[in-house]
Amino acid sequence: MWFESSLRSEQGKDSINNEDYCHVDAKKGLFVVADGMGGRPGGKLASKTAVTAFVAQIGRLAGPARLQEDTIHSAIATVNEQVRALSQANPDMTGAGTTLTSFIVHENQGRTVHVGDSRVYLFRDNYLKQLTTDHTLVSELLERNHLSAEKAEHYPYRHVLSRSVGANETVKPDIGKLTIVAGDWFLLMTDGLSEVLDNESIEQLIQANCRESAQKMCCVLVETVMKHQMYDDLTVIAIHIHEEVP
Amino acid sequence: MGIEIEATEEKSHEHFELIEHLGSGGFAHTYKARSLDRDAVDDYGTDIVAIKIPLNAKKERQLRKEVELNARLHIDLASAQSTNIVRYLGFGIFRGQIVMVMEYIPDGSLRDRLGRIGSQKPMDVDEATEIIRGILQGVDAMHKAHVFHRDLKPENILMRDQTPKISDLGISRMLESNELASTTTGTVYYMAPEILCDEGASFSADIWSLGVTLYEMVTGKLPFGGSGTPIGTMVDLIRGQNQVPAIDIRPDIPRVLSEIIDRSLAKDPSRRYQTAGEMCDALMHLDQSKQSESTLKAPPESVHKDQREGRPCNEEELRLTVLANPDSSMGYLRLGQFLNRNHRYGEAIEVYRQGIQHIPDHNLLHWNLSIALLVMKNQQQACHHLEQAILCGLAGSLKVRAESLLKRFKSSRAGVGKSTKDEVEQILEKVRRSESNTDAEAMLNDAVRKFPRDVRVRQTLGEFYNRSQRYNKAINVFEKGVDLDPKNPALLWDLALAYYGAQRHVKAINRLEQAIDAGLDSSRQRHARNLLKIMQRKNV
């Protein structure tokens, strides 16, 4: 298998600096996005610290070891400690936190690692599937039938995360397993994209561009969002799985 | 994150001198500052203020929105004049950017006093009740002006010595209109179930938030979850679980206080205190109970042993005590307190009245009766008994409270007196008391039909529409009012606000200028000039 990948990250229209951070290492099959807590001082530093620490923890391991659940849990625990240490050391960083979403691949096995409301999508057989569930107050309320889907769209506290790296002493990531096949597209993105584009629109864009390069895919997605009047920081990583190196 | 403003720069052309950085939020830094503009200092009544400076030019839009919201809220709250609300003083220009000017509150927040979530320290009960009463007075003033905070929590309560001041009045409205991309979970701890689940919250959601705050103040813990609780679990707790009673965590607090907290945390909003004033009165009653217990030292022989030892007595024993000693105030007071604790205020009133028949000049009987009457919303008779309590020698903090209650109700008593002569006033009073916006709107529309030439009715209806941001309706109502009374500065001012809300700035400027020419009062005039500046700046 060969991964063709690309990334693009843009500062939001109303942002002071881009609080998203990402990492792509196609050779090691390690892809990560993080979105520093919106409106919080230190959001940028939190996302950068989290991604750097996660890459350091996972990147040093040999291929199959990277996919082990206990290894991933332990890596996330270390990342959480490092982000919390930031806010404990600096009063201006109080409350800083971040999402962290990763896709790790070894041979034909993939793992999704997820905390927060960034997302991983799989596009296979011309259909889009969201592989992660947002860790937000809204999704908790929906899951518990405390809120209708209609109300959820306009819920005033929809940006409140139910899980994030750095917010609490411990954090539990969702870890997903899957087998990858040639032709798959994987997309990792922060909420700057998913807030503006619903799943149907993303699916249509991928359907229209799935024969293009990963770089082109990133451009199409990001530029569609940037046509809107307002948008937040946005980051996308596109990964296209090929049978063999062309 | 680095602070982008240096406090030591040349300030000769500026209207503010920065003194101290107080904090930074999502879109602004807050500084303690000295106003160097003499006219402004006269307006503010002080040269030391707090100013909010946008983080950068891009964030000015959000700060301007907050300024506009606060200007409107300030107008809504103009008549409240509560010492427990942080005063919005206006806006200024600093280094070419709009800055919001507020009252400077020197002693940190209630959160600073309590400690971070996870390591809070319980407060002294008297201190906690004193502070929460102050907050309730501020909230009461806000609610009377139909302003609903939505985000009350210790972080938003600033402290000047022991006086709490409610801040961030505009933030929740910005959140509602998605002006802020908040990701904090801190708010959830204090969120009423109906807000959490978007089920149409009302003023009693603020009562819930204060119940959580009071619980935290007296126990050092949150009633639902804590820093390590997953949010889903917290949602389940807030929705479906009753809190551990505060008295079970801290047995030395008065049972009544624990019950007051429990009532403010009723899942069903209709079972909570319906007004902040009602909860405040219940807390005053708590103080009174404590004082009367210490005043009445040695109980008569016939009083049951359990009573002497302070243990709860049953109703039957208390009634027997009253029958056995009809000339002793003790029995009436204890039975009345028992009934009040069980929210049987009507029966408590009867008991105190019986007591007064036997001992007409007992100040505590009059005081107790007045409080129970207030809970039952019988303000006129409550005032009578407050006066009697003072005449009969009520002393100390109770006397101070009685006097302050009397003062508070003086104006509304006058209103009640007038209302018999003035049907319009009577309707408007009903509207003010109404907690349902739909009812208030229907009553006002009926009144406009019935009294088409009465400006007061039109003004109240227009203000109602302005508050609910239905500006076009407000414009129609005020325009007709202005036809009837073209030189009424208050009407012109309200009309200008409606045009401003509807983004029709040319009309708004025109009406603001007319309002000023017609003799708008000085406080509003300052805000009118501020709004003119905002609009002229926008137009530029």
- What is the domain range of residue B509? 423-539
Chain B contact for A174 (CB, 8 A cutoff): no
What CATH number is attached to the domain comprising A16? 3.60.40.10
Nearest CA in chain A to B28: A39
B304 in reach of chain A (CB within 8 A): no
- Note whether residue B9 is domain-resident: no
**CA closest to B171 among chain A residues:** A156
pLDDT grade, residue B219 (50/70/90)?
A: very high
Beta strands, E only, B129-241: 157-160, 163-166
Q: How far is CA B209 from CA A229, B206, B221, B411, B524, in A?
A: 36, 5, 14, 29, 32
How close A7 gets to chain B, by Cα (Å)?
24
Helices (H) and strands (E) in chain B, counts: 25, 7
Q: Smallest Cα–Cα separation from B151: which of B62, B212, B230?
A: B212
CB contact under 8 A, B184 and A40: yes
Interchain CB contact of B61 with A (< 8 Å): yes
User: Inter-chain contact B196–A141, Cβ cutoff 8 Å?
Assistant: yes
Question: Taking CB atoms and an 8 Å limit, are A39 and B27 in contact across chains?
Answer: yes
- Per-residue burial over A211-222, b if 16 or more Cβ lie within 10 Å, else e, is eeebeebbbbbb
Six token digits for residue A150: 């209609």
Closest Cα in chain B to A140: B232
| Integer Cα distance of B397 and B399 in angstroms | 5
Can you give the pLDDT at residue B345? 79
Residues B141 and B225 in one domain: yes
The predicted structure's pLDDT at residue B180: 43
Compute and round to an integer the Cα radius of gyration of chain A: 17
Give yes or no for a contact between A36 and A96, defined as CB atoms under 8 angstroms apart. Answer: yes
Count of structural domains within chain B = 4
Same domain flag for B115 and B39: no
Nearest CA in chain B to A41: B1
pLDDT value of residue B56: 64
Please say whether the dihedral angle defined by the alpha carbons of residues B211, B213, B217 and B221, taken in this order, is positive or negative. positive
Query: For residues B342 and B315, is the Cβ–Cβ distance under 8 A?
Result: no
d(CA B141, CA B77): 8
The two structure tokens encoding residue B242: 């009753």
pLDDT digits (tens, 9 = 90+) for A38-94: 455 578 889 999 999 999 999 888 888 889 999 999 999 999 999 988 877 776 676
> Do both B394 and B471 map to the same domain?
no
Alpha helices in chain A (DSSP H): 43-59, 69-89, 137-143, 149-153, 191-194, 199-209, 214-226
Q: How far is it, in rounded angstroms, from Cα B28 to Cα B100?
A: 10
Q: Are residues B430 and B527 in the same domain?
A: yes
Number of DSSP helices (H) and strands (E) in chain A, helices first: 7, 10
**Is the same domain home to B443 and B468?**
yes
Question: CA–CA separation, A136 vs B296, rounded Å?
Answer: 56
User: Averaging pLDDT over each range in A225-229, B222-226, B235-239, B263-267, which range is the top one?
Assistant: B263-267
CATH number at residue B434: 1.25.40.10
**Residue A151 sits at the chain B interface (C-beta within 8 Å):** yes
Cβ distance B1 to A41 less than 8 Å, yes or no, reads yes
Residue appearing with tokens 């979403």: A101
| Among B39, B71, B103, residue at a domain's last position | B103
Flag whether residue A216 sits within 8 Å of chain B, measured between CB atoms: no
B96 touches chain A (CB under 8 A): no
Interchain CB distance below 8 Å, A14 and B236: no
Mean pLDDT of A223-242: 88
How many other CB atoms are found less than 10 A from the CB of residue B105?
Answer: 21
Of the candidates B453, B452, B460, B451, the residue with the CA atom closest to the CA atom of residue B423: B451
- Look at residues B243, B276, B309 and tell me which one is the last residue of a structural domain: B276
Amino acid at B27: F
Residue numbers in B near A83 (CB within 8 A): none
Q: Does B119 touch chain A (CB under 8 A)?
A: no
Q: Would you tell me which residues 377-436 of chain B have a C-beta closer than 8 angstroms to some C-beta of chain A?
A: none
Q: Is residue B453 part of a domain?
A: yes
Region A129-144: what's the mean pLDDT?
A: 91
Domain identity same for B409 and B439: no
Q: Check whether residue B181 and residue B253 sit in a common domain.
A: yes
CA distance A214 to A188: 12
Q: Does residue B246 lie in a domain region?
A: yes
Q: Does the beta carbon of B183 lie under 8 angstroms from any beta carbon of chain A?
A: yes
- CATH code: domain of residue B37: 3.30.200.20
Q: Give domain status of residue B10, yes or no.
A: no
Q: Which residues of B touch A232 (CB under 8 A)?
A: 181
CB contact under 8 A, B183 and A37: yes
Residue A37 DSSP label: P
**Chain B residue with minimum CA distance to A35:** B183
Residue percentage of chain A with pLDDT more than 90: 59
Number of structural domains (chain A) is 1
**Range of the structural domain that residue A187 is part of:** 2-242
B453 shares a domain with B370: no
Is the same domain home to B387 and B326? Answer: yes
pLDDT of residue B376: 75
Specify if B230 maps to a domain.
yes
Strands B157-160 and A174-179: unpaired
B129 and B230, same domain (yes or no): yes
CB B91 within 8 A of CB B99: yes
Residues in chain B closer than 8 A to A45 (CB atoms): 1
Q: Average pLDDT, stretch B445-470?
A: 84
B412 and B452 housed in the same domain: no
Within-domain flag for B310: yes
Q: Does A146 touch chain B (CB under 8 A)?
A: yes
Query: Which pLDDT band, with edges at 50, 70 and 90, does B334 fall under?
Result: confident
Q: Answer whether B62 sits within 8 Å of A39, measured CB to CB.
A: no
Residues B265 and B321 in one domain: no
Q: Tell me, what's the pLDDT at A17?
A: 75
Q: Do B176 and A156 touch (CB under 8 A)?
A: yes
- According to DSSP, residue B384 is labeled H
Q: What angle do CA B463, B464, B468 make, to 5 degrees?
A: 115
**B 9-48 residues inside an 8 A Cβ radius of A:** 24-27
Lowest-pLDDT range of B12-21, B145-154, B519-528? B519-528
What is the model's pLDDT at position B28?
A: 75
Span B387-414, average pLDDT: 73
Higher pLDDT, B147 or B9: B147
**Looking at the whole model, is its pTM more than 0.80?**
no
Query: Is B178 in contact with A156 (Cβ distance < 8 A)?
Result: yes
Question: Please, are residues B446 and B462 in contact by the beta-carbon 8 Å criterion?
Answer: no
Mean pLDDT of chain A: 89
- The verdict on A45 touching B (C-beta cutoff 8 Å) is yes
Contact A16 B55 (CB under 8 A): yes
ipTM of the shown complex: 0.74
The listed range with the strongest mean pLDDT (B154-163, B176-185, B230-239) is B154-163
Which tens digit of pLDDT belongs to each residue from A25-37? Answer: 988 999 999 998 7
E strand residue ranges, B97-208? 97-103, 157-160, 163-166
> What would the DSSP string read from start to end of B37-49?
-HHHHHHHT-SEE
Q: Which of A90, A157, A190, A231 to mutate to test the interface with B (most CBs of B within 10 A)?
A: A157
Query: CA-nearest residue of chain A to B58?
Result: A14
Beta carbons of B210 and B96 less than 8 angstroms apart:
no
Q: Is residue B185 part of a domain?
A: yes
B232: chain A residues, CB-CB within 8 Å: 140, 143-144, 162
Is residue B122, in this structure, part of any structural domain at all?
A: yes
B220: confidence class by pLDDT, cuts 50, 70, 90: very high
Region A91-119: mean pLDDT is 89
